[in-house]
Amino acid sequence: MNASIDSSQPALPLNQQVAIVTGGARGIGAAIVRRFVREGAHIVFSDILWDEGKALEAEIGASARFMRADSTDPSDIEKLVESTLNWFGKLDCLVNNAGAGGVSGPIAEVSIEGFDQTVALLLRGPFLGIKFASPHMKGGSIINIASISGLRGGYSPHIYCAAKFGVIGLTKTVSLELAERGIRVNAICPAGIPSAIFAGPQASTELARKTPAIVEPLLAEGVPLARAGSPDEIANAALFLASSQSAYITGQEMVVDGGLSVGVPWPIQIEIHQRYRERLQAA
Which are the catalytic amino acids? Answer: 160
Residue 32: phi, psi to the nearest 5? -65, -45
The strands making up 183-190's β-sheet, listed across from edge to edge, are 64-68, 42-47, 18-22, 93-96, 140-145, 183-190, 253-256
Q: How many Cβ atoms sit within 10 Å of the Cβ of residue 129?
A: 24
CA dihedral 272, 276, 282, 283 (to 10 degrees): 150
**How do beta strands 42-47 and 183-190 pair?**
unpaired
Question: First-to-last CA distance in the chain?
Answer: 89
Torsional class of 234: left (φ above 0), alpha (ψ -120 to 50), beta (otherwise): alpha
Q: How far apart are CA 91 and CA 81, in angstroms?
A: 8
Q: Which amino acid is at 178?
A: L
Compute the radius of gyration of the chain from its Cα atoms: 20
Quick check: 202 and 184 in contact, CB under 8 A?
no
